Amino acid sequence: MELKFRRNPNYQSLRSEMTDEPFFMDRRKLLATGGALGAGSILGALPACSEPQGAIAAPANASAHPAPGAKLAAKKAAYAVSDTTTVEEAFNGYCNFYEFGTDKDDPADKGFLLKTQPWQIKVEGESDALGNYAVKDLVDFSKLEERVYRHRCVEAWSMVVPWVGVPLSSVIAKLKPKATAKYVQFETLLDKKMMPGTRLPVLDWPYVEGLRMDEAMNELAFIAVGAYGKALLQQNGAPLRTVLPWKYGFKATKSIAKIRFTANEPKTAWNKANANEYGFYSNVNPKVSHPRWSQASERVIGGKGGFNERRNTEMFNGYEKQVASLYAGMDLEKNY
């Protein structure tokens, strides 16, 4: 995309200090919002960029994690799929993140409001390591890996995304769950100022999701801090989110602010909103229809040519080998 800039000496010098992506976001929002918001507040909402006056504020703080859009180095992991990777523009432009609004482009339009630095993750419940953590306390940025996973939304569309992050099990290990912890619950940040969608009672905020401990420890369960070789943008759950490729997308938790280990099954957001349509497990299953549509196939979003075809949905989204044993003996029609 071609962008036009007014020449501003401060900005020109600043530019070299910044990574490309937040700069792009920043300018776009500036142009889009015009005078409606003060420039200062917009810049202020951008993590680790700079002071509005042009003072250079590189994230020198050792505990600071990369700003949205910053380049990340990651080792390629063995997880890959044969289908074409979704174009990055679609990944960042077509999102469900109701904290920013219910339309697919709301998160991309309003995500800039979310300040992801500093960020704190509160650990609660059945754990021997209770307390507050920074992103870098939980995620070892020297061990980032890239995994290309299928992403299947419950709304019958799908993407193929190269995530960057660490296994969820490595994060959980640091948090020392007790033997009494049978489930792990994730909560998205709730901030009515930075997340305008939460001002409406669309869901019972904050967004809560959860997994059985054995699901969370499965090799596929992943904590992403990036995608496409860059730190996650706000619309996709910056600074860190879960990725659970064998489950419908809403089972993942974006912009995690709280992790809680519990003895009982967590009450999750969509399940509370509509238990008939959204179960606790919500594993991808072409044989169990959503009450209002079939789950047998999916529209592929963000192909190179624009036009999106359908593909048949696979059991556990194609990850049967890795996860089927978790549900041995369970009736998956009842435990949808």
**Helix, strand, coil percentages, rounded to 5, for the chain:** 25, 20, 50
Tell me: does residue 204 bind other proteins (CB under 8 A). Answer: no
Beta strands in 127-284 (DSSP E): 131-133, 145-153, 157-167, 183-188, 208-212, 222-227, 230-231, 241-243, 256-262
- Listed in sequence order, the residues at least 6 apart from 71 whose beta carbon sits closer than 8 Å to its beta carbon are 19, 229, 230, 231
Q: Which stretch binds other proteins (CB under 8 A): 73-81, 231-239, 242-250, 307-315?
A: 307-315
SS3 of residue 312 by DSSP: strand
CA torsion sign for 128, 131, 133, 137 is: negative
Q: Which stretch binds other proteins (CB under 8 A): 20-28, 89-97, 165-173, 249-257?
A: 89-97
Tell me: does residue 329 bind other proteins (CB under 8 A). Answer: no
Q: Which amino acid is at 201?
A: P
Contact residue for other proteins among 9, 34, 35, 306 (CB under 8 A): 306
Contact residue for other proteins among 52, 54, 59, 93 (CB under 8 A): 93
- Listed in sequence order, the residues at least 6 apart from 239 whose beta carbon sits closer than 8 Å to its beta carbon are 65, 68, 116, 117, 119, 135, 225, 231, 232, 255
Tell me: does residue 315 bind other proteins (CB under 8 A). Answer: no
Within 104-123, which residues bind other proteins (CB under 8 A)?
A: 104-105
The residue count for binding other proteins (CB under 8 A) is 25
- One character per residue 154-193, x = contact with other proteins (rule: CB under 8 A): ---x------------------------------------
Q: Which amino acid is at 165?
A: G
Tell me: does residue 5 bind other proteins (CB under 8 A). Answer: no
Work out how close the CB of 295 gets to other proteins at its nearest, in angstroms, rounded to a whole number. Answer: 11
Tell me: does residue 299 bind other proteins (CB under 8 A). Answer: yes
Q: Return d(Cα 104, Cα 250) in angstroms, integer.
A: 14
Contact residue for other proteins among 308, 314, 324, 332 (CB under 8 A): 308
Binding site for other proteins (CB under 8 A): 89-90, 93-94, 102, 104-105, 157, 202, 289, 292-294, 296-297, 299, 301-302, 304-310
